[in-house]
Amino acid sequence: MHDLELSDEQRMIRDMARDFARGEIAPQAEAMEKAGWITDDLVAQMGELGLLGMVVPEEWGGTYIDYVAYALAVEEISAGDGAVGALMSIHNSVGCGPVLNYGSQVQKDHWLVDLASGKTIGCFCLTEPQAGSEAHNLRTRAELHEGHWVLNGAKQFVSNGKRAKLAIVFAVTDPALGKKGLSAFLVPTDTPGFSVERSEKKMGIRASDTCAVTLNDCRIPEANLLGARGKGLSIALSNLEGGRIGIAAQALGIARAAFEAALVYAHDRVQFGKPINEHQSIANLLADMHTQLNAARLLILHAARLKSAGLPCLSEASQAKLFASEMAERVCSKALQIHGGYGYLEDYPVERYYRDARITQIYEGSSEIQRLLIARELANYSI
């Protein structure tokens, strides 16, 4: 995207995030992957820079400008490290977002300032082992007893699960009502009965803590119900647009890092008497990669502009997420190919980029779910 299309504020946010990613995140990415943990100091720095409150208004200490600035920042942070981009995107969209949009004034005053500053990291406990993308097919139960909700169940694939201090948990409150019997709750993770069972060992974004969580007679005050009773499904689905814009931007950032690594390598690597970027086959690969990156960015920023204007953009966000995530795997694969045998080694970061990119086709709705949503929108398309 040309700088002329960006406001001064958007450009400033992007440049700040880029400088931070290159100066602070990228040099630590390999070590953090091996440790399976994003350093606490780095998270604190992100909070100080306002990167963890980008969807929260200034009233609660946030740094919201618009979703264009947010998408640009997620891209830059993810180019530094996909795992850090995951923490940022997930915390903003499904950590801060539900509290901002559905919390009572008391809940917002209590939680949002610390969420926006990064002092409190949020996680989103929706997925269960048997449910997958069926948000209405949950087994976790919440029962009201003497002014407290008592939660029992198990959650899977909880990003930020080990680090989070606040969990947004979805549980069935009225089983007989089906989809209308699901509710959302604010659960401090130090509540007795809330347990992080394990951190998953993953193919990629290994520094991002992805956990299994159990709730065993976990008691929270009745006032910790988020939104109205029975509105859990609406709350879960309401964050899809912003969440998918964030994951699309994450995919773009990872792919761009792989492209830039391939560009440098192709300039420096000499074969048959000249740099390999002067061989037509490699030049064509690089041209295609560059084009696909720019196409993904345009889709992302189009969805971001609609979201910023308060306009419906579920299909546009799904298109951006679908294209960017599948583009990321292609571009990272070609970047690895350009590196030849060296790209298959852990000595070069393209191996990590390739692994990190793969998850973006799965979480926040798989590619199959995105196609389903886009096709459903086309049923009402008028020519």
Active site residues: 364
Q: CA 301 to CA 148: how far, in whole Å?
A: 43
The residue among 311, 370, 296, 377 whose CA lies nearest residue 67 is 311
CB proximity list for 192: less than 8 A, separation 6 or greater: 218, 219
Closest to 144 measured CA to CA, from 236, 234, 233, 229: 229
For residues 258 and 348, the answer to whether their CB atoms sit within 8 Å is no
Contacts of residue 93, defined as CB under 8 A and 6 or more positions apart, other chains included, come to: 55, 239, 242, 243, 245, 246
Q: Which residues contact 225 (CB under 8 A, 6 or more apart)?
A: 149, 183, 184, 185
Q: What angle do CA 133, 134, 139 make, to 5 degrees?
A: 120
**CA–CA separation, 362 and 86 (whole Å):** 13
Cα gap 52→57, rounded to integer Å: 12
